[in-house]
Structure 1
Amino acid sequence: MALFGKKKKEEPPAVDPSKLIKTEVPFDTLPVGSKIPEERKLTDEQQEKYKLILKHFQNPDLQVYTTEKNPAEKKPLSEYEKAWLTKECFLRYLRATKWVVKDCIDRIEGSIAWRREFGITGENDTVTPELVSEEGETGKEVILGYENDARPILYLKPGRQNTKTSFRQVQHLVFMLERVIDFMPPGQDSLALLIDFKQYDDVQGHQTSKIPPVNVGRQVLHILQTHYPERLGKSLLTNIPWLGWTFLKIIHPFIDPLTREKLVFDEPFPDYCPVEQLDKLYGGYVDFTYKHEVYWPKMNEIATQKRDHYHKRFEKFGSIVGLSERDLRGDDEELHHPVEQLWEAEHPKQEGSTDKVPEPVETITEKVEALQV
């Protein structure tokens, strides 16, 4: 398997101590020179499909299952879920489903059901900082800095594992994914992973192996690929031991081909990240020390502030499904991406009338076929 052919790793050059930037907390602003990606232009065909998705989720009577497994009960969308249903969200799922409208709707509704069941809707969440705090005590997952394309970086360090294999480890990872999304700047909706497999002797772990079990790896991959489509922009991997390569080979068939293209093995990380926001362990200037009692509350404080800013702007701009994350994460008073009210335009309310039921997915599919795709 050529993808996992091991290459000799070059140690990063020593950093001049006078250039080191000491910190114990995350960066909450972008480095100078980072690039915000330009918006992708849609073709006429893609725009029509996007509008079908938008109209479906603008339906005020839409109800979605409350669980992914054994679904039975349905509920309307909450305000937090409507804020999650952004223009960019629809486009991420459309790209992930190769622009098949029915598949896209099914995937999005499946993700809403999963988020409800998992406990991360933003309303009465069960996956809280308090629940997963113990998992974070050794700094095995840390949000720190941004790479060249303004993606926030989530460091994963399996060698700092401190707990036994459990579902709470999965909850911790999902919690950190949600927080790193909070750290995304306007215009960037993907993240960077920096995965370091080095063993850290200062951690008193509960396992002899720091490589996650294959079943856990597959579970995490399913969550990432199904419910966080198009979120991974770059994944930098280093210090991979023999066992790590074996693990990667085992889970390789389960990794989406597009995801594989984003994996970078043992290359100089300063090629991808500004040194001013990259840990010195990987050739950067950041002298980062993890102290849980300092980092954990500060990281959650910054994430909460950014999340509150997002939701206040969602309310400011009308609490409309389909608003742009560029507007919601930004600071401009003006709305730069107005949203068409497609459902209301086609289903005007008349005095004394009742709201219509959601338009069936089959009807939407027929409209797509009419586009002669």
Structure 2
Amino acid sequence: MSEGLKKSPSNGFEKSLTTEEQQAKINEVRRLVGPLPEKLSIYCSDASISRHLRARNYSVKKATKMLKETLKWRAEYKPEEIRWEEVAREAETGKIYRTNYIDKHGRTVLVMRPSCQNTKSTKGQIRYLVYCMENAILNLSPDQEQMVWLIDFHGFNLSHISLKVTKETAHVLQDHYPERLGLAVLYNPPKFFEPFWTMAKAFLEPKTYNKVKFVYSDEANTMKVMEDLFDMDQLESTFGGKDNSGFDVSKYAERMKEDDKRMPSFWTRDSHPSAVPQPALKSAASLDVSVDSHSDASENDETDCLDVNGIDSEILSLEDNTSATDSGRKGSENVHPGEVKTHNDRAHV
């Protein structure tokens, strides 16, 4: 094995860096990003920058570009300001929801049921997905930064396949929520799903689709994935567990409304004492969005830089708003929790 590389069970080959080397790269990315409004500054915690670096194999240039694109997206989309009332229609059938249990590694669990799709708007579906992601992150324990997806294929048919939604979903999750997925379990996918999965993989990065496990209720070797991951007394019967309570949208709505009340304080500096204070950014003109050509001088990769004209000053003037708020069938494999976190940082920011 080449020096400086390590084999990760879920992520393939990655650079192996010391804690000091990782921190130096985190600091360099933060320097290149420059001053930000409070919410965006809070988003740029050490843990967040570390996730972007891992997603780009510790290339400072690529990680900085990725982070800046996400900062622009967050400034425009304001995912932390989405509230239950806006997405309740999308949630009625339980097509995506956060469970009231976690896995054995302390990871938040999101259930996805494609057959329960109840709307045709890609925009609405993606907005609800983003809401669920933000809620799952809100409910992560301080020492965990990844989540598990349980995808139930009961009742799934060809009419539920949408390459457009799949492509947009992959874009949002990979580009704006890097390293948030710990594991995705595809539970009882039908045979006709396999060609679609082959096409869908084209939208996914290898380190993402390598985290996908196929589990079949009639195959004991794959069901061991569930037994290794969950307390079977808490796991829903849909996934081979013993809990028969099912999804109740009324009860779920109450949980989400309570979480909505917590969201504004989650995006204040008092909640994130490790966030690095920065001067408030009044205008995009203050933001140097180019990536230093001398950064990562030992790397041969070339990365396009963001154009300052692509970030509107009105979008980034947020200071006054900071208080608002492989596949086929596989046997069981060892499941590993998230990557090592950087020190003195809340991992889920």
TM-score by length of 2: 0.69
What letter corresponds to residue 292 of structure 1 in structure 2?
A: V
* C-alpha contact 1:211 1:243 (8 A) present in aligned 2: no
Which residue in the other structure is 1:56 paired with? 32
Q: Which has the larger radius of gyration?
A: 1
What letter corresponds to residue 225 of structure 1 in structure 2?
A: Q
Which residue in the other structure is 1:163 paired with? 119
Which residue in the other structure is 1:223 paired with? 172
C-alpha change, 1:245 and 1:360, in structure 2 (3 Å) is: closer
What letter corresponds to residue 171 of structure 2 in structure 1?
A: H
Q: CA offset at residue 135 of structure 1? A: 0.8
Rounded to whole Å, the distance in 2 between the matches of 1:293 and 1:241 is: 31
Alignment of 1:283-298 (within 5 A): 283-298=240-255
Which residue in the other structure is 1:139 paired with? 94
* C-alpha contact 1:190 1:233 (8 A) present in aligned 2: yes
Rounded to whole Å, the distance in 2 between the matches of 1:198 and 1:110 is: 36
What letter corresponds to residue 46 of structure 1 in structure 2?
A: Q
Q: CA offset at residue 212 of structure 1? A: 3.2
1:106 aligned to which of 46, 59, 65: 65
- 1:64-100 deviation per Cα after TM superposition (whole angstroms, max 9, x unaligned): xxxxxxxxxxxxx332222221111000001111111
C-alpha change, 1:104 and 1:41, in structure 2 (3 Å) is: closer
C-alpha change, 1:153 and 1:303, in structure 2 (3 Å) is: farther
C-alpha change, 1:51 and 1:371, in structure 2 (3 Å) is: farther
- 1:14-39 deviation per Cα after TM superposition (whole angstroms, max 9, x unaligned): xxxxxxxxxxxxxxxxxxxxxxxxxx
1:183 aligned to which of 120, 123, 139: 139
* C-alpha contact 1:183 1:303 (8 A) present in aligned 2: no
* C-alpha contact 1:79 1:319 (8 A) present in aligned 2: no
Three-state SS of the structure 2 residue aligned to 1:143 is strand
C-alpha change, 1:55 and 1:277, in structure 2 (3 Å) is: farther
Q: Which stretch shifts more, 213-222 or 282-291?
A: 282-291
The RMSD of aligned alpha carbons is 2.9
Q: CA offset at residue 227 of structure 1? A: 0.9
Rounded to whole Å, the distance in 2 between the matches of 1:360 and 1:162 is: 40
Q: CA offset at residue 273 of structure 1? A: 1.4
Which residue in the other structure is 2:151 paired with? 195
Which residue in the other structure is 1:153 paired with? 109
Q: Which stretch shifts more, 224-233 or 40-49?
A: 40-49
Which residue in the other structure is 1:369 paired with? 297
Answer yes or no: is 1:278 the counterpart of 2:235.
yes
Q: CA offset at residue 45 of structure 1? A: 3.1
C-alpha change, 1:288 and 1:80, in structure 2 (3 Å) is: farther
Rounded to whole Å, the distance in 2 between the matches of 1:100 and 1:168 is: 34
Q: CA offset at residue 191 of structure 1? A: 0.6
Three-state SS of the structure 1 residue aligned to 2:151 is strand
- 1:297-327 deviation per Cα after TM superposition (whole angstroms, max 9, x unaligned): 213313643x356345x32665833xxxxxx
C-alpha change, 1:369 and 1:197, in structure 2 (3 Å) is: same
Q: CA offset at residue 44 of structure 1? A: 3.7
TM-score by length of 1: 0.65
1:118 aligned to which of 41, 61, 77: 77
Three-state SS of the structure 2 residue aligned to 1:275 is coil
What letter corresponds to residue 128 of structure 2 in structure 1?
A: H
C-alpha change, 1:164 and 1:82, in structure 2 (3 Å) is: same
Rounded to whole Å, the distance in 2 between the matches of 1:236 and 1:214 is: 20
C-alpha change, 1:44 and 1:194, in structure 2 (3 Å) is: same
Answer yes or no: is 1:242 the counterpart of 2:191.
yes
Which residue in the other structure is 1:172 paired with? 128
Rounded to whole Å, the distance in 2 between the matches of 1:184 and 1:113 is: 24
Which residue in the other structure is 1:30 paired with? none
Aligned length: 272
Which residue in the other structure is 2:335 paired with? none
Rounded to whole Å, the distance in 1 between the matches of 2:246 and 2:291 is: 55
Q: CA offset at residue 155 of structure 1? A: 0.2
- 1:306-361 deviation per Cα after TM superposition (whole angstroms, max 9, x unaligned): x356345x32665833xxxxxxxxxxxxxxxxxxx7x89xxxxxxxxxxx966675
Gaps of 5+ in 1: 1-39, 61-76, 201-207, 322-340, 345-355
